[in-house]
Structure formats: C-alpha cells, structure tokens
Amino acid sequence: MSSTSKGMQLAPYLVFFLVHSMQIGIGVLGYQRQISKTAGYDTWISVLLACVISHIVLFIIYKIAEIGKGDLNDTHTFTFGRILGGFFNIVFSFYFIAIVIGVIRSYIEILQIWLFPDLRVFWFTFIIVLLAIYVVNGGIRTVTGIAFYSIIIPFYLYFAFLFAVPYSDYSDFLPVLHHSFKDIFKATGQLAISYLGYETLLYYYPFIQNPKKSKKWAHLALLFTCFIYLYITFISFGYYSEPQLQHIIWATLSIWKIVKLSFMWRFEYIGIATWFFAILPNICIPLWCASRIMKKTFKMTQRSALIWISALLLFLVPLLQTRQQIYNFLSLINKAGIFLNFIYIPLLLVIVIIVKKVKK
C-alpha cells in the first residue's frame, strides 16, 4: 500500500487515462510520413510489433516500481547513491522538460501553418505555461483529471476519419510483407517512439491506491493506443498513396480537410483547436514529473521548482524558429526516449535486483 495520504491517491483505473493520454498527442498528427518511407503498406505490422515491445517495457517498469524504493527518484538514490543517483534524476528531469518544449513548439508550428501565420511564439507559450502551472499546482489528481478529459473531449474526431473511407483503396495492402523484415523492424523502432510516455508511471506509481490492480489498466491503455494507431494507419494508407504520404508533413490533419458539413466547411480548424485538449496532458504530466524530481533532488518546494522550469520553457521554446530546428530537436528527444526506455530502463531493472541482493 502506498504511503501517500489517501486524499492524494489515485484509483487504479485512472492509470488507463494517464498512460494513454501521454501516447496520443502531437505524434498522431504526422507520424505517417516517416514510416511510409520505410515500411509502406506493411506499416500496420510495425504498429503491432511496437505495441508488443511497449508491453514488455511496461512490464519492466512495473517490476522496477515494485522492487525499487518509492518512485524512480528514490530508486536511483538507493541504487547509485546520493550523488550519482541525483545525476540520473536530473537527466530524467531535463528529458521531461525537453518533451514539454517539443510538444509546445510543435503545436504552435501547426497553429502558425494552418491558422495564424503571425502568431508570436513567446506569448502563446506564456499562455500555455500559465495554464500548465495552474493544472500542475493542483497536484497529481488534477493532472489526472486533465488526462481523463483529454481522451473524452477529442474522441469525436476519430469518427471524422470515416469520411475518407469512400475515397480509399485498400487493395494496395496486398500482398502482405511486400517490404523486407529489416524495413518493418526499422519502422517498428520509429513507431515505438509514438508509444513513449508510460515511463512517467515510475514517478506517480506511489500515488496509486493499489498499484498491482493498476497493471491491467496500464496494459489496456497500451492496447487502446495500438488500436488508435492501427485505425489511423489503415485510414491514412487507404486514402493516400505511399508517394503522397512521403511528402505530407501532417497527414492526419490533411484528412480532416475532406470533412464537409452543411454548417461547417473548414473542419480541420475545429480539429486543431479540439486537439489542444489531447496535447495538454503531454505538457502537464512531464511538467509534474520534472518539478517533482527537482523538489526531491534539491530539497525545494514543487511550486518553486515549477516556477523555475516554467521560466526555462519561456526562454527555450522561442529559440526554435525554423522547421529544421524543430525537426532536429524532436529527433534528439526521440533518440533520448528510445535510449532511456528500451536500453536504460531494462538495464536498471537488472542493476536494482543485483544491488538489492548485495545490500541484503
């Protein structure tokens, strides 16, 4: 049972919303371009393989949380000592801050391209950061509430993809395995990035009322994420050809352009505005994790840590000006995420087991 006070604890089923909301965000709007160059119409196989790999990593994350000490902060200190453990904690903190920067700047880029070309990066970042501070100051339960609504409110947008079905051709999906296994596994690595976000569980794990009961909800969240990506993949590759997808940056948004209703002609505007609810947890959850790490590492209040991190965001986000700079920054985050989730976390489990036996 968690030592956290009952008023701050989370019901096990709420883990579903925390895990899934971190995986559905900016990446959904344009992941098709890169993977279409690699695996083409066999991408759906890569989606399934990425899902399987993510379930394995999630299993490892739960093992670390169960045999470790408290959250990942405490586990690092227990395993590596105060100094080295503090270093790893700071690395994770900067990783979460980088995620927030990437999400905010990517969404602003979409707004600048599709809606407001003259939008000022600093001032819109300022508004988003103020909203995020308000949410994170409410504690993990408030952040969880935002994660819940981020799934419920934009859910209607998934039905908008069905407008593309009458104009789609699914015969190109045959024959299966038209690409080599090497290309399919390469696309799996590219897609595994889209599943990242469940590593935040290592920080809010102590807040779960009955952590063991939350396992099934976390795995169900991964399955639901897999279903969403599979659904959008079939719609996208049915509506567009491979060469088209390789030249469209935001394929998901482009599909919304075909939606025409009697009372609404530019449905993509509504979709972009509504999708803000989907990306808000991508900002609030990592921001909560980063501020909590700073709080425990430097012995400061979480509110003070939040203010310092927010000031850093206001300084760094506007520095990303061009499309190439944003792309390079996102690529850097993706590489860091792959290393931390698929290499460091499994290795950490082995180290924690060894250290625990030695200390006994």
DSSP 45-95: HHHHHHHHHHHHHHHHHHHHHHHSSSSHHHHHHHHH-HHHHHHHHHHHHHH
pLDDT score of 350: 93
First to last CA, the chain: 22
**247, part of any domain:** yes
Q: For residue range 25-68, what is the model confidence (pLDDT) as tens digits?
A: 888 888 888 888 888 788 888 888 888 989 999 999 999 998 87
Dihedral sign for Cα 5, 8, 14, 19, please: negative
CATH code, domain with 256: 1.20.1740.10
Which residues constitute the domain of residue 63? 6-359
Q: For residue range 153-188, what is the model confidence (pLDDT) as tens digits?
A: 999 999 988 888 888 888 877 777 777 788 888 888
Higher pLDDT, 246 or 285: 285
pLDDT score of 183: 81
Full-model pTM: 0.92
**1, part of any domain:** no
**208, part of any domain:** yes
**154, part of any domain:** yes
Residue 3 has pLDDT above 60, yes or no: no
**228, part of any domain:** yes
Q: For residue range 80-116, what is the model confidence (pLDDT) as tens digits?
A: 988 999 999 999 999 999 999 999 999 999 999 888 8
Euclidean distance between CA atoms 282 and 21, whole angstroms: 7
**31, part of any domain:** yes
User: Residue 4: pLDDT band by 50, 70, 90 thresholds?
Assistant: low
**342, part of any domain:** yes
Amino acid symbol at 197: G
Residue 260 has pLDDT above 90, yes or no: no
pLDDT score of 331: 86
Q: What distances in angstroms separate CA 119 from CA 27, 105, 107, 123, 312, one per listed residue?
A: 22, 12, 12, 8, 20
Provide the mean pLDDT of the chain: 88
Q: Which of 300, 256, 315 has the alpha carbon at shortest distance from 121?
A: 315
DSSP single-letter state for residue 10: B
Tally the domains of the chain: 1
